[in-house]
Amino acid sequence: MISVVAPVYNEEALIDEFYARTCAALDGLPFEIVLVDDGSSDGTPLRLERIAAADARVRVVSLSRNFGHQTALTAGLDHARGDAVVMLDADLQDPPELILTMLDHWRAGCDVVYAVREQRAGESRFKLSTARWFYSLFDKLAQVELAPNAGDFRLLDRRPLDALLSMRERNRFLRGMTVWVGYTQAAVPYQRDRRYAGETKYTLSKMLRFSLDAISSFSHRPLQLATLLGFVISTLAFVAIPVVIVLRILGSYLPGFSALTIVVLLLGGIELIAIGIIGEYVGRIYDEVKGRPLYLVRARSNLSDPAGELHASALPPVTAEGRLGHPKPIEADSDPLTPTSRPRD
């Protein structure tokens, strides 16, 4: 079976068309469509309900509020039961017909098939150039190799999907995570269409946050950059000390006040930036440590057993060490009363 997963946020103008086009594209194949309502405030939930009532292949997961695109996608992946799972946007920018090409690669043995946008119609010049900057910055900083212009439109085999779902981190950059899991990967090129209806839900601040999440979850370079900058500037200061002393001995005073002010301000600024960079990471560590569920489900349609419950549950994420924040289970043969026999956390 093939699962098609799409997050939906205030898309009442296009959800019926998405459903119709996806069904037409996959006609004759065993498939399910998992639609995640990411806390829509328009007529989307009603439409989703209608579609699910008429077609048992359509499963709907309604989140308790807006959790954002990446988390909504994760909720959909958690509930998908296919042997191969395709994730795409519901706004028809990613043509559902391309799924057939992806399936060909999958049948030929590829575990991850990602679609690369060759052309992006209907996007503003600003969005295109910021996207280009982001991909080249990410390429320089991050430890995974992301094909430039590969979005979240991807097919995953069950094995890489299960690997992906075992990663319960809060700041999710799914397209990076699907590369990180490895397995056999293949690319298919496509022309990205314009939005079928409505407006983009990614505001500038959301895009900024998203790129910070992406970089911080795949790179420590910004932190190392702060250290490097610190060394460079301290070296400059050490070089400056003998220069000042010699000038003083020679009797020439540095007409220094304004230069000094500039240096102090510059250093202050750099220090604050460095603290800010550390703060970005510390904030994310804090988010992880709190161990909140990634999302909360308000309702499900056409999903009898809550398969996603396991992942979505309120329990802290499972790690190789046991549950975060909980002591490791004590082995049966160890004596719980002897402190030394307890496993060290």
| Distance in Å, CB of 170 to ligand UDP, minimum | 15
What is the x/- site pattern for Mg ion, positions 247-286, by CB under 5 A?
----------------------------------------
- What would the two tokens of residue 306 be? 């809550």
| Distance in Å, CB of 37 to Mg ion, minimum | 16
| Distance in Å, CB of 266 to Mg ion, minimum | 41
Size of the site for ligand UDP (CB under 6 A): 17
Helix axes 69-79, 158-165, angle to 10 degrees: 120
Q: Which does 4 bind (CB under 5 to 8 A by kind): ligand UDP, Mg ion, none?
A: none
- From candidates 22, 62, 93, 217, binder to ligand UDP by CB under 6 A: 93
What is the x/- site pattern for ligand UDP, positions 22-61, by CB under 6 A?
----------------x-----------------------
Pick from 74, 76, 117: nearest CA to 93: 117
Within 84-103, the residues that bind Mg ion by CB under 5 A are 89, 91, 93
| Distance in Å, CB of 148 to ligand UDP, minimum | 16
| Distance in Å, CB of 54 to ligand UDP, minimum | 21
| Distance in Å, CB of 14 to ligand UDP, minimum | 9
In one-letter notation, the amino acid at residue 210 is: F
Give the 3-state secondary structure of the chain. Answer: CEEEEEEECCCCCCHHHHHHHHHHHCCCCCEEEEEEECCCCCCHHHHHHHHHHHCCCEEEEEECCCCCHHHHHHHHHHHCCCCEEEECCCCCCCCCCHHHHHHHHHHCCCCEEEEEEEEECCCCHHHHHHHHHHHHHHHHHCCCCCCCCEEEEEEEEHHHHHHHHCCCCCCCCHHHHHHHCCCCEEEEEEEECCCCCCCCCCCHHHHHHHHHHHHHHHCCHHHHHHHHHHHHHHHHHHHHHHHHHHHHHCCCCCCCHHHHHHHHHHHHHHHHHHHHHHHHHHHHHHHHHHCCCCCCEEEEECCCCCCCHHHHCCCCCEECCEECCCCCCCCCCCCCCCHHHCCCC
> Residue 111, class by beta-carbon neighbours within 10 Å (0-12 exposed, 13-18 middle, 19+ buried)?
buried
Q: Which does 316 bind (CB under 5 to 8 A by kind): ligand UDP, Mg ion, none?
A: none
- The answer to whether 91 contacts ligand UDP (rule: CB under 6 A) is yes
| Distance in Å, CB of 264 to ligand UDP, minimum | 42
What is the x/- site pattern for ligand UDP, positions 55-84, by CB under 6 A?
-----------x-xx--x------------
| Distance in Å, CB of 202 to Mg ion, minimum | 8
- From candidates 100, 108, 128, 202, binder to ligand UDP by CB under 6 A: 202
- From candidates 78, 89, 111, 157, binder to ligand UDP by CB under 6 A: 89
Q: Which does 68 bind (CB under 5 to 8 A by kind): ligand UDP, Mg ion, none?
A: ligand UDP
Using CB under 6 A, list all residues that contact ligand UDP. 6-9, 11, 38, 66, 68-69, 72, 89-91, 93, 200-202
Using CB under 5 A, list all residues that contact Mg ion. 89, 91, 93
